[in-house]
Amino acid sequence: MQTDILVSEVGPRDGLQSIKTVMPTEAKKAWIAAEAAAGVREIEVGSFVPAKLLPQLADTAEIVAFAKTIPGLTVAVLVPNLKGAEAALAAGADKITLPLSVSESHSRANLRRSHDQVIEEAQAIAAAIRALPVERRPHFEGSLSTVFGCTIEGAIPLRQILALAERLMAAGCDEVGLSDTTGYADPKAVREMVTAVRGVVGDKALTGIHLHNTRGLGLANVLAALEMGLDMVDSSLGGIGGCPFAPGASGNIVTEDLVFMLQAMDLRTGIDLKKLLKVRKVLAEALPGEPLYGFTPDAGLPLGFVPEQSTRKLETA
């Protein structure tokens, strides 16, 4: 199992796009700054999509510009197509993720594109990245969405998933990611999917996973992913968000609970958990009435818990 785990915060994108409330730009900046100050090293700060589709993310360019001023922070964004990628490149994003749903029906509902059209977009984005000076090229990830099942089509044939993973890499992606868009995954499925996809793209081309807690298996699935050697996990502060284009796909895993579990297992995240727990106040004030989830924030840290060094000796009376 890995000893250094990258927790990638996706709340400012995946969380906010799934709720009706539009968070003020200054509140987003305060959120991102506070999480970075707590030691979060990668934050997906928004998505370059038309404002009429997702008004919650209309200020993404401004948010990227602000996040880029924070030393040591990897500024990630999601893009639906080449146009979005061009905006991300102009803004200076460090990481670009293009979602490709392995379910053709979900792909058409989410991106209004077929598999072939998304691959063409990936090729065009890769070419645009290669045209930049090496020092300005962002990391390019192709995310295999609905990889554990689709609310529209159900289970997706493995051969189709693997073929799309290969095509994304051939199109010029630096890596592929696994996304449990619909919350269908279980630990056995995670182990099998990681093994299968790595079998066609290689170990180095699959390092991260995006999981939901829709059926209460989020952290169990994280453990399965870690056992398979993945070392990057997406999560959302307060567990906000899901996918607005996949019915019933609520429930990102909670960043606070994830970090507590990792640190309790003596895995290094670089995150100050006490500082992280305080960031919820920013969300609570900016999103009044929006439910925030998480067991660790409610229960507090165990007596004697030392984050990033959790091993404790039992005291005798």
Residue 317 lies in a domain: no
pLDDT tens column, 300-316: 999 988 876 544 433 33
Residue 177 lies in a domain: yes
Exposure pattern of 80-91 as b/e (b: 16+ CB <10 Å)? bbbebbebbbeb
- The domain total for the chain is 1
- Length of the chain as a residue count: 317
Structure confidence at residue 277 (pLDDT)? 97
Which structure tokens are listed for 109?
A: 């509902």
Residue 305 lies in a domain: no
Based on the residue annotation, tell me whether 173 is a catalytic residue of this protein: no
Residue 122 lies in a domain: yes
The residue segments making up the domain with residue 106 are: 6-299
Exposure pattern of 29-66 as b/e (b: 16+ CB <10 Å)? bbbbbbbbebbbbbbbbbbbbeeeebebbbbbbebbeb
Structure confidence at residue 250 (pLDDT)? 60
Residue 310 lies in a domain: no
Confidence class of residue 185 from pLDDT cuts 50, 70 and 90? Answer: very high
CA–CA dist 230, 223 (Å, integer): 10
- Based on the number of CB atoms within 10 Å of its own CB, is 116 exposed (0-12), middle (13-18) or buried (19 or more)? exposed
Q: Are 40 and 7 in contact (CB under 8 A)?
A: yes
CA–CA dist 149, 145 (Å, integer): 9
Q: Are 300 and 260 in contact (CB under 8 A)?
A: no
Q: Are 12 and 31 in contact (CB under 8 A)?
A: yes
The enclosing domain of 232 has a CATH number of 3.20.20.70
Residue 311 lies in a domain: no
Considering 243, 262, 273, 283, which one is annotated as catalytic? 243
Is 261 strand, coil or helix? helix
Q: What percent of the chain has pLDDT over 90?
A: 81
Structure confidence at residue 270 (pLDDT)? 94
Tell me the sheet residues that pair with 288: none
